[in-house]
Structure 1
Amino acid sequence: MNLEPDIENKGNILLVDDIPENLQLLSDLLIKLGYTVRSVTSGRMALKTVRVKRPEVILLDIKMPEMDGYQVCQALKADEDLCHIPVIFISALDDVFDKVKAFNSGGVDYITKPFQIEEVVARLENQLTIQRQQHLLQKEINYRRDTEEALYQSRALLSSILNSSLDGIAALQAVRNPETGNIEDFRCLVVNPVIAKVFQRSREDMIGKLVLKKFLNTIQPELFNNFIEVIETGRPLEQDFYYPSGNSSWYHFVAVKLGDGFAITTRDITARKQTEIALQDANHKLELLANLDGLTQVANRRCFNNRLQSEWQRLAQEQQPLSLILFDIDVFKRYNDYYGHLAGDDCLLKIAQSVYHCIRYQEVSRPTDMVARYGGEEFVILLPNTDLAGAIKVASRIQAVIHDLKICHTESNVKDIVTVSLGIASVIPSLEVQPDTLIAYADQALYEAKQQGRDRYCCNCEQSFDK
């Protein structure tokens, strides 16, 4: 047996024997082998020594004056702080009775004198190994206890957060087809009370269950595939969705990949959404008011100018015709002077609304057509994708509609009812020419209609631009 010192196997040993020669012999042998050794000659000294500096193993003689080895061992085992120190009896007594008594008093091993150093070292190392394993085991037990305590605290904290959160929180795991591997549904792993309320079920009734696919089918089926994408691609998903539940109807959620599943956080945004919708409605009304003539309730000149610009750009690219009708009420100043401004305003309103309905509710509805008040008693009609022939038909209809109103105008030198003069222009727009050119053409045609006696329409002969 190799008895050379091994630093890794060093141990702190206490020798107890009333014969100094025995102590010296065994102490020298063990020190040479690399052990740290302390020696005492009585049991009482041994008990004092172990309290000052605790050994890893005690080699204890039995026959000693005042206090024998059995009593020393029993005293050690009765002390809660010292009871775990292993005691190896080393004695000349070799009777079975003595050995049994040694083990009953708390010894872990027994060596008979005269001893062989190899046997002592083997038994000593065996106890040291057991000690080290016990230390490692106790360390592992302590670590696991601390880990379990930390886990318990974390779970308690997580549970507190989940239960007190104003947001809905859940974790779901994918349930895959065993043959294809495709995701067929999701199993709820964690659900807090807010999510359970949205589902209108208890948490206990949801955890471990397959409820998501059925739920999504009632509100937005395509979300199921979107959640699958979160798992397959790892990209988060964030959006609003509508789901009436009690006093709530709008929710916002964020879903992120979590293992082979996803975690989702939802928030009730009903109040915010209602505010947004109200704001959108208000903005829409403001936009309408900004683009509407207050008196006649048709588009104002600002709105017309914007529309003319956009249609000019579009039709220049498409090389399609754009027509415009400019008309005003014949001798309207006399009407105002004779009937009064209130009657004049009422006349403008009737004509504007009649023309608007004539354009808007014709047989083929054209949402791009526009009626606008251009200024005073002058109005303009924009007709995208309409050639000169089509514009003339519209002008004839407008003239007929205004005749049918039969608004009395005794001061008119044209007819005894309100009439209008119309100027028509039609071109294929060009990006090299300004849109105002079309207005100028229609204005020239209107001037011709007035010069020819009013209550009629005239057309401008410029119908296209040279390229």
Structure 2
Amino acid sequence: MNLDSQLENKGTILLVDDIPENLQLLSDLLVRLGYNVRSVTSGRMALKTVKVKCPDVILLDIKMPEMDGYQVCQALKADEDLQHIPVIFISALDDVFDKVKAFESGGIDYITKPFQIEEVVARLENQLIIQRQQRLLKQEVNNRREAEEILYHSRALLASVLNSSLDGIAAMQAVRNPTTGNIEDFRCLVVNPVIAKVFERSREDLIGKLVLKRFLSHIEPELFGHFVNIVEKSETLERDFYYPSGESFWFHFVAVKLGDGFAITIRDITRRKQIELALQQANQQLELLANLDALTQVANRRCFNNRLLQEWEELAKEQYPLSLIIFDIDAFKSYNDYYGHLAGDDCLLQIAQAVYSLIRHLDVNRPADLVARYGGEEFAVLLPNTDLKGGAKVAERIQEAIHDLAIPHIKSHVKDIVTVSLGVAALIPSLEVKPDILIASADKALYEAKQQGRDQYCINDCQKL
């Protein structure tokens, strides 16, 4: 046997010998072969070591001071947690009496010194193979027992709640192709009246029949593959599905693996779906109200801020221009003081709606344009994909639309009708700067329009700042 060859199956070996030279020699040989080796020089150290971490096999010398190998082996076999560890005695004692005593102490093999490493490895491997087979057999027995217990309890549970449950309950067994072993359909093992009603069949007509694949073909054919995965991959499947049945339309099911099949529970959730739809519509309405100015019925400041940030990020990626118009009503305080706040509110409403109507009719293919009440008598118009020249044209149209309203304002020092001053700014957004620069630029242009006598617009090209 080549000592440098590597064994396919390795294990953890505990060497127990009071002579360090013997330990070193045997340890080096076994390590070279790929085993994980631990060594101790006394029986008491061996008992402490195995309690910390159990080895796969113990190679135990017999003649040791304080506690000989027989005593160590007897102590191991008396411990319920350690008695399974195979002990191979390795000793210079070659008398039949010593060997018999070794086996009576609980040893499973005996190697006489001086030993051949080939013999040691062969005997080690024999014990390791036996151990692996025992573990596999134990695992197989446990798996089978667990499967039987699960199946038994699951069937018992189904039987107890089957007829009293308001939910649909069924158990399905896989029907496999005898050649390939693939699941081709499922056979009904258990079905309660609720499920039978969904299938529009009697329970007697369903039990033992192959109905699932045909039933799913009318609803959602791809669901069959998901049911197969429940069995083959132990996946749990939970989802809603639409299936008109009497006054019910929506159902929710949960399916789990049960033996070589699955158990499924189905609940009518039509009412819940109706409530969810109503709630969704209510949330949409709330979202609309949250973004709408109650007085003027155009977008509010919150909506404007969100839209500005959104358009800023999108246009920065596309490198398209963004224009902003900020305008307010000239001498609005005087208007309020003279005509009253109700008239002032009506004035704000008329102006907001006039500008909104104008923007909507300028180009029906520009849904991103936004008219918002910025605050008080101040409004903002956001124009994506619009340069400064385009923004100025819109500002001019807004000014004309306000003139066309001809709302009387005898306390105005500008004209005897309501007028507005407008500031226009435009730039190509950049992710390196904040959109505040566009607002500040439009504000500056608005200030210039007021300084120059109001009832006009001024422009400010941010890109040249």
The TM-score normalised by the length of structure 2 is: 0.58
Q: Are 1:335 and 2:305 matched, yes or no?
A: no
Residue 362 and residue 204 in structure 1: after superposition, are their counterparts in 2 closer, same or farther (change >3 A)?
A: farther
267-276 or 369-378, which deviates more:
267-276
Task: Give distance in 1, aligned partners of 2:313 and 2:331.
Answer: 36
Larger Rg: 1
Task: Give distance in 1, aligned partners of 2:276 and 2:267.
Answer: 16
2:454 counterpart letter in structure 1: R
Counterparts of 1:364-375 in structure 2, within 5 Å, are 364-375=364-375
Task: Give distance in 2, aligned partners of 1:276 and 1:154.
Answer: 33
Kindly state the Cα deviation for residue 377 of structure 1 after the two structures are TM-superposed. 0.9
Instruction: Give the equivalent residue in structure 2 for 1:445.
Output: 445
Task: Give distance in 2, aligned partners of 1:154 and 1:175.
Answer: 20
Residue 158 and residue 256 in structure 1: after superposition, are their counterparts in 2 closer, same or farther (change >3 A)?
A: closer
The TM-score normalised by the length of structure 1 is: 0.58
Q: Secondary structure at the match of 1:463?
A: helix
Q: Secondary structure at the match of 2:320?
A: coil
Kindly state the Cα deviation for residue 184 of structure 1 after the two structures are TM-superposed. 5.7
* Percent of aligned positions that are identical: 75
Task: Give distance in 2, aligned partners of 1:271 and 1:323.
Answer: 48
Task: Give distance in 2, aligned partners of 1:388 and 1:361.
Answer: 20
Instruction: Give the equivalent residue in structure 2 for 1:146.
Output: none
CA RMSD of aligned residues (A): 3.3
Kindly state the Cα deviation for residue 259 of structure 1 after the two structures are TM-superposed. 5.1
Counterparts of 1:42-441 in structure 2, within 5 Å, are 158-174=158-174, 185-258=185-258, 261-360=261-360, 362-441=362-441
Residue 275 and residue 331 in structure 1: after superposition, are their counterparts in 2 closer, same or farther (change >3 A)?
A: same
Unaligned residue ranges in structure 1 (runs of 5+) = 1-150
Task: Give distance in 2, aligned partners of 1:193 and 1:316.
Answer: 61
**What whole-Å deviation, never above 9, does each CA across 1:217-263 have from its counterpart, x for those lacking one?**
44444434433444454422212223343443332212234455433
User: For the Cα contact (< 8 Å) 2:438–2:462, is it kept in 1?
Assistant: no
Kindly state the Cα deviation for residue 319 of structure 1 after the two structures are TM-superposed. 3.4
User: For the Cα contact (< 8 Å) 2:427–2:461, is it kept in 1?
Assistant: no
Residue 211 and residue 411 in structure 1: after superposition, are their counterparts in 2 closer, same or farther (change >3 A)?
A: farther
Task: Give distance in 1, aligned partners of 2:278 and 2:212.
Answer: 32
Task: Give distance in 1, aligned partners of 2:393 and 2:180.
Answer: 66
2:250 counterpart letter in structure 1: W
Task: Give distance in 2, aligned partners of 1:406 and 1:432.
Answer: 44
Task: Give distance in 2, aligned partners of 1:238 and 1:153.
Answer: 22
Q: Secondary structure at the match of 2:163?
A: helix
Q: Secondary structure at the match of 1:287?
A: helix
Query: Aligned pairs, how many?
Result: 315
Q: Secondary structure at the match of 1:256?
A: strand
Kindly state the Cα deviation for residue 177 of structure 1 after the two structures are TM-superposed. 7.0
2:402 counterpart letter in structure 1: I
Task: Give distance in 2, aligned partners of 1:460 and 1:451.
Answer: 15
1:365 counterpart letter in structure 2: N
Task: Give distance in 2, aligned partners of 1:453 and 1:344.
Answer: 22
Unaligned residue ranges in structure 2 (runs of 5+) = 1-150
2:227 counterpart letter in structure 1: F
**What whole-Å deviation, never above 9, does each CA across 1:186-225 have from its counterpart, x for those lacking one?**
4433221122223333222333444434544444444344
Task: Give distance in 2, aligned partners of 1:255 and 1:311.
Answer: 45
Kindly state the Cα deviation for residue 455 of structure 1 after the two structures are TM-superposed. 3.0
Q: Secondary structure at the match of 1:164?
A: coil
Q: Secondary structure at the match of 2:263?
A: strand
**What whole-Å deviation, never above 9, does each CA across 1:256-312 have from its counterpart, x for those lacking one?**
344554332222233444444444444433333333222112222223223323433
2:366 counterpart letter in structure 1: R
Q: Secondary structure at the match of 2:293?
A: coil
Residue 345 and residue 262 in structure 1: after superposition, are their counterparts in 2 closer, same or farther (change >3 A)?
A: same
Task: Give distance in 2, aligned partners of 1:393 and 1:185.
Answer: 69
User: For the Cα contact (< 8 Å) 2:329–2:421, is it kept in 1?
Assistant: yes
Residue 157 and residue 302 in structure 1: after superposition, are their counterparts in 2 closer, same or farther (change >3 A)?
A: closer
Instruction: Give the equivalent residue in structure 2 for 1:459.
Output: 459
User: For the Cα contact (< 8 Å) 1:425–1:463, is it kept in 2?
Assistant: no
Task: Give distance in 2, aligned partners of 1:322 and 1:165.
Answer: 62
Task: Give distance in 1, aligned partners of 2:384 and 2:264.
Answer: 50
Residue 263 and residue 155 in structure 1: after superposition, are their counterparts in 2 closer, same or farther (change >3 A)?
A: closer
Residue 223 and residue 386 in structure 1: after superposition, are their counterparts in 2 closer, same or farther (change >3 A)?
A: farther
User: For the Cα contact (< 8 Å) 2:421–2:455, is it kept in 1?
Assistant: yes
**What whole-Å deviation, never above 9, does each CA across 1:313-354 have from its counterpart, x for those lacking one?**
443344332221101122223332333221211121122123
Residue 295 and residue 165 in structure 1: after superposition, are their counterparts in 2 closer, same or farther (change >3 A)?
A: same
User: For the Cα contact (< 8 Å) 1:428–1:464, is it kept in 2?
Assistant: no
Residue 432 and residue 216 in structure 1: after superposition, are their counterparts in 2 closer, same or farther (change >3 A)?
A: same
Task: Give distance in 2, aligned partners of 1:314 and 1:159.
Answer: 60
Residue 174 and residue 418 in structure 1: after superposition, are their counterparts in 2 closer, same or farther (change >3 A)?
A: farther
Residue 403 and residue 211 in structure 1: after superposition, are their counterparts in 2 closer, same or farther (change >3 A)?
A: farther
Q: Secondary structure at the match of 1:350?
A: helix
2:430 counterpart letter in structure 1: S
